[in-house]
C-alpha cells in the first residue's frame, strides 16, 4: 500500500476537529467515522446490505472470539474475513487485549503475554504480541491492532505503569511480527487517566512509527469528563498526518466532544446493545420502547428518520414486538440506532467541511449531555 494512507482534508478553524480520508485495501473511509461492531463476524441482527444502506464504512471483528471459534484456520481456508462476513468493505480487528482484560478472573498476564481460559468451555489459550498479530494477518482485516494491556478504572499506579511498559514492548513486537503489507497496524496508547503516563506511552509509540494510533483503556468507568480530559491531553501528542482512533466510545456527547479534540475513528456496542434492550437513540433524547405510553402510538420511533424501522413501523408495533419477544423488535431498533449514529457522523463531517464544527458542537454537546447522561 502507499505510504500516504491518511489525508486531512479540512480542519475547523476554531477547534481541532478534522475531516479526513483513510485509504485501506478495501476502500477509502471518510472520517470522522463510527464503526459498528461485529465481534464474532456479524453485527447482531443486521445484514451487510443494511449496513451499506445506512452508509456504514467499516465494521469490527475480534481476534479473541475468532481464535476461540470457529478458529482462524477455518476462516483462512474459506477465503478470509471479508468473505466470511460477506462484507467487501474495510474491516478492523481488535487484537483481543480488551477481551483478556474483561475476563480477568480467567487469565494470567505477564511480560510475555496472556494465558487464559475460554469463556465458552474453559479450554486453555495463550495470546501474545506475535500470536495476536499472526492471527490478524491470517484473518485479513484492513486495519489490525497491536496487542496491549488494558487496565480497569480505578487502577493502582504500579498497575498502570506496568501496563504502559508492556503495551510499548508488545507494540514493538507486533510491528516486528507483522507480515501482511496490505494491512494497517495501529498502536494503542494506554495509561488510564494518568496524563504523564499517557504522554510517555504516546511518545514511545510515535517513535516506533505506526500508520495509525488508538487510545485504549477509556470508557471503562472513568466518566465523560475524565475521558475527555485524557483525550484532550493525548490527541496532540499523536502525529497530525495519521488517524486517531478512540476505542470503545461512546455516547453522542462522547463522540462530539472527542471529534472536537481531533479524534477520527470510533466504535461502540451502544447502538446495537441498547437496541436489543428496547432503547432508541433520537435527536430529542432516548425513547424506551417497552414503556406503556407507546402502546397505541402511531408515531415512528423518530419522526424524519429514514431507517427501515421509522419508515415502516409505528411505536405501537415496535413495543408489541418487544413485549411478546418477537426478534423483529431488537432488529428494528438496532437498525434505527446504527442509522442514528451514522447520521450524527455525517452531520459532524459536514460541519467540519463548512468550518462550523465548534459552533455546532457548542450547541449540540450540552444538549446531548443533558439528554443521555443520568
Residue range 301-314: mean pLDDT, rounded: 98
SS3 state of residue 116: strand
Burial (0-12, 13-18, 19+ Cβ within 10 Å), 15: middle
* Tens digits of residue pLDDT in 255-307: 999 999 999 999 999 999 999 999 999 999 999 999 999 999 999 999 999 99
Give dist(CA 360, CA 356) in Å, integer: 6
Active site residue 94: yes
Q: At what angle do helices 157-177 and 129-139 cross, to 10 degrees?
A: 50
Catalytic residue among 94, 142, 254, 264: 94
Query: 0.85 cut: is pTM over it?
Result: yes
* Tens digits of residue pLDDT in 203-235: 999 999 999 999 999 998 999 999 999 999 999
Give dist(CA 54, CA 49) in Å, integer: 9
Active site residue 121: no
Which domains are assigned to the chain? Answer: 6-269 (3.20.20.105)
Residue 149, Cβ neighbours under 10 Å: how many? 26
Pairing of strands 265-267, 18-24: unpaired
Residue 361, Cβ neighbours under 10 Å: how many? 23
Question: Residues 336, 54: contact at Cβ < 8 Å?
Answer: no
User: How remote is the C-alpha of 304 from its chain's centroid?
Assistant: 27
Give dist(CA 359, CA 61) in Å, integer: 35
Catalytic residue among 73, 194, 267, 298: 267
Amino acid at each position: 500500500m502507499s505510504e500516504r494512507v491518511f489525508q486531512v482534508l479540512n480542519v475547523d478553524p476554531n477547534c481541532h476537529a478534522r475531516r479526513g480520508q483513510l485509504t485501506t485495501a478495501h476502500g477509502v473511509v471518510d472520517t470522522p467515522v463510527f464503526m459498528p461492531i461485529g465481534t464474532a463476524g456479524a453485527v447482531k441482527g443486521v445484514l451487510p446490505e443494511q449496513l451499506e444502506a445506512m452508509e456504514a464504512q467499516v465494521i469490527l471483528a475480534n481476534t479473541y472470539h475468532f481464535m476461540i471459534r470457529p478458529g482462524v484456520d477455518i476462516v483462512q481456508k474459506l477465503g478470509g474475513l471479508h468473505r466470511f462476513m460477506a462484507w467487501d468493505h474495510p474491516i478492523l480487528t481488535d487484537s483481543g487485549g480488551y477481551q483478556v482484560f474483561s475476563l480477568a478472573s480467567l487469565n494470567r498476564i505477564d511480560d510475555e503475554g496472556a494465558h487464559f481460559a475460554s469463556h465458552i468451555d474453559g479450554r486453555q489459550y495463550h495470546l501474545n504480541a506475535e500470536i495476536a498479530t499472526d492471527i490478524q494477518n491470517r484473518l485479513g482485516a484492513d486495519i489490525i491492532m497491536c496487542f496491549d494491556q488494558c487496565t480497569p478504572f480505578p487502577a493502582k499506579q504500579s498497575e498502570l505503569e506496568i501496563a504502559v511498559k508492556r503495551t510499548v514492548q508488545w507494540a514493538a513486537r507486533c510491528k516486528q511480527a507483522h507480515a501482511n503489507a496490505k494491512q494497517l497496524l495501529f498502536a494503542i496508547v494506554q495509561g488510564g487517566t494518568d496524563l504523564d503516563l499517557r504522554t510517555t506511552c504516546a511518545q514511545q509509540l510515535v517513535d516506533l512509527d505506526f500508520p495509525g494510533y488508538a487510545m485504549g483503556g477509556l470508557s471503562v468507568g472513568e466518566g465523560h469528563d475524565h475521558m475527555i480530559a485524557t483525550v484532550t491531553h493525548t490527541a496532540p501528542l499523536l502525529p497530525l498526518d495519521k488517524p486517531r482512533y478512540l476505542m470503545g466510545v461512546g455516547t453522542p456527547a462522547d463522540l462530539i466532544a472527542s471529534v472536537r479534540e481531533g479524534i477520527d475513528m470510533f466504535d461502540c456496542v451502544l447502538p446495537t446493545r441498547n437496541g436489543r434492550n428496547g432503547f432508541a437513540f433520537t435527536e430529542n433524547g432516548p425513547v424506551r420502547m417497552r414503556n406503556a405510553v407507546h402502546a397505541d402510538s402511531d408515531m415512528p420511533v423518530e419522526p424524519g428518520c429514514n431507517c427501515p424501522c421509522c419508515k415502516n413501523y409505528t411505536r405501537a408495533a415496535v413495543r408489541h414486538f418487544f413485549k411478546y419477544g418477537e426478534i423483529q423488535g431488537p432488529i428494528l431498533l438496532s437498525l434505527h440506532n446504527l442509522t442514528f449514529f451514522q447520521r450524527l457522523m455525517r452531520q459532524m463531517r459536514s460541519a467540519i467541511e463548512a468550518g462550523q464544527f465548534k459552533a455546532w458542537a457548542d450547541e449540540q454537546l450540552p444538549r446531548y449531555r443533558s439528554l443521555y447522561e443520568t
